[in-house]
Amino acid sequence: MLDDVRFSAGEFSTSIRFLSDPTQALEGVQLALFDTNTRPLLGSWSGPEVVWPAGESSKSWAQIDSALSKALELELGRDGVLAGVGGGVVTDMAAFAASLYMRGCKLVLVPTTLLAMVDAALGGKTGIDYNGYKNLVGSFYPAAELRIWPGFLQNLPERDFRSGLAEVIKHALLGESDLHSLLVNQRQAILAREPDVLEELIYKAIMVKVGFVERDFREKGERAFLNLGHTFGHALEAVAGFDGSWTHGEAVCWGIGRALDLGVRLGLTPRGYQREVESLLLSYGFVLRAPHKDAGALLSALKHDKKKYNGHVRFVLQTGFGQCLQTTADDAQVLATLAGGI
């Protein structure tokens, strides 16, 4: 079993525990938040709970209200312990609810997907979708504890598992050479979900994000590099309507492809590096074209990106492995980049 990790994020402290048994996941919890997919995973739980409908459409004020109402009904105080059990949707919403209740109660997150384990549940970003735009409303509120049982991944649907691999690949591209080597050299073992290799993959990917979060909790500088592929990817998700035709990870990989293309167009990204990354993404089954999408609609969605600076969308691009920068681009360049990916 992997060693526990403790790290600081601004004024917050998070403990990451790797569990040997899923029955440890909700110890000490007073209110558990699930979705309809994750509730069966912890069938032994008999305490107070809220079960949200599964899917991105649940990331709404109405579902946050259901959690807050239940916490109030239970008369939980600020020292109450609220837990979110699920993938990125559940962990985002549970953390947002915890940040609001009593202006912040204790939060435990139990990620059940690879994406949540290595990214969504880690680092304190919370949120819901608003008016069709992903995570437009939210807060920074890290979990006091992140409890990880890698065994959850053995029964995860294949598409969801690969969606998580998108974030792992992104973490590797940010400069973690050991993680990159693992992805290149152990692809078959990773796709077969061999437990020892998965544990190593999860741990290395987590440590990449921990480093960024510790150094730049509120995303004033280098933490923004974790958004590689996300500005384009979120636009694709918005245009697709969060209808399940694209998972978050699939959209991020498409977005990484578009970021590489924009970098080449701007003379910042070497074409050889672009080909190398695209080859890695394709080897894991990701698609780098979004047919039947409209470039103009994608550009319009991009302009609503929540990470705008002085009214301009800033793109995370790469000049090479582990070398990132943020820059703006004019509409003509962005539109050509989008058109090249459909």
Per-residue pLDDT of 163-180, as tens digits, reads 999 999 999 999 999 999
pLDDT level of residue 132 (50, 70, 90 thresholds) = confident
Residue 278: pLDDT band by 50, 70, 90 thresholds? very high
CA 112 from chain center: how many Å?
13
pLDDT at 8: 92
Tokens 């549940």 locate to 121
The pTM for the full model equals 0.94
Dihedral, CA of residue 163, residue 167, residue 173 and residue 175, to nearest 10? -150
Distance from C-alpha of 131 to C-alpha of 61, rounded to nearest angstrom: 11
Q: Tell me what pLDDT residue 311 has.
A: 76
Give the pLDDT confidence of 171-220 residue by residue, as tens digits.
999 999 999 999 999 999 999 999 999 999 999 999 999 999 999 999 99
pLDDT over threshold 70, residue 75: yes
Q: Select from 195, 216, 204 the least CA-distant residue to 150.
A: 195
Let me know: does 177 contact 326? Beta carbons within 8 Å.
no
Q: What are 151-161's pLDDT values in tens digits? A: 999 999 999 99
Cα separation, 49 vs 25, whole angstroms:
14
- At residue 23, the pLDDT reads 93
Identify the band that residue 271 occupies on the pLDDT scale cut at 50, 70 and 90. Answer: very high
Domains belonging to the chain, first-starting first, are: 5-215 (3.40.50.1970), 228-339 (1.20.1090.10)
pLDDT for the residue 222:
96
Give the residue with greater pLDDT, 65 vs 309: 65
Tokens 């970098």 — which residue?
263
- How far apart, in whole angstroms, are the C-alpha atoms of residue 125 and residue 145? 14
More confident residue, 134 or 199: 199
Q: Average pLDDT, stretch 92-107?
A: 98
Q: Is a pLDDT exceeding 90 seen at residue 30?
A: yes
CA-nearest of 204, 168, 201 to 286 is 168
Say how far apart CA 290 and CA 309 lie, in whole Å: 27
Taking all residues of the chain, what is their mean pLDDT, rounded to a whole number? 95
Which residue type sits at 206?
I
| Residue 68 backbone phi and psi in degrees, to 5 | -65, -40
Lowest mean pLDDT among 12-16, 268-272, 303-307: 303-307
Helix or strand holding residue 13 (H, E): strand 12-18
pLDDT attached to residue 241: 84
Q: What stretches of the chain show up as alpha helix (H) in DSSP?
A: 61-73, 88-100, 114-115, 158-173, 177-185, 187-191, 195-215, 230-240, 248-265, 271-283, 295-302, 331-339
Q: How far apart are CA 35 and CA 6, in angstroms?
A: 28
The phi and psi torsions of 49 (rounded to 5 degrees) equal: -155, 160
Pairwise CA distance, residues 96 & 104, whole Å? 9
Whole-number pLDDT of residue 306: 67
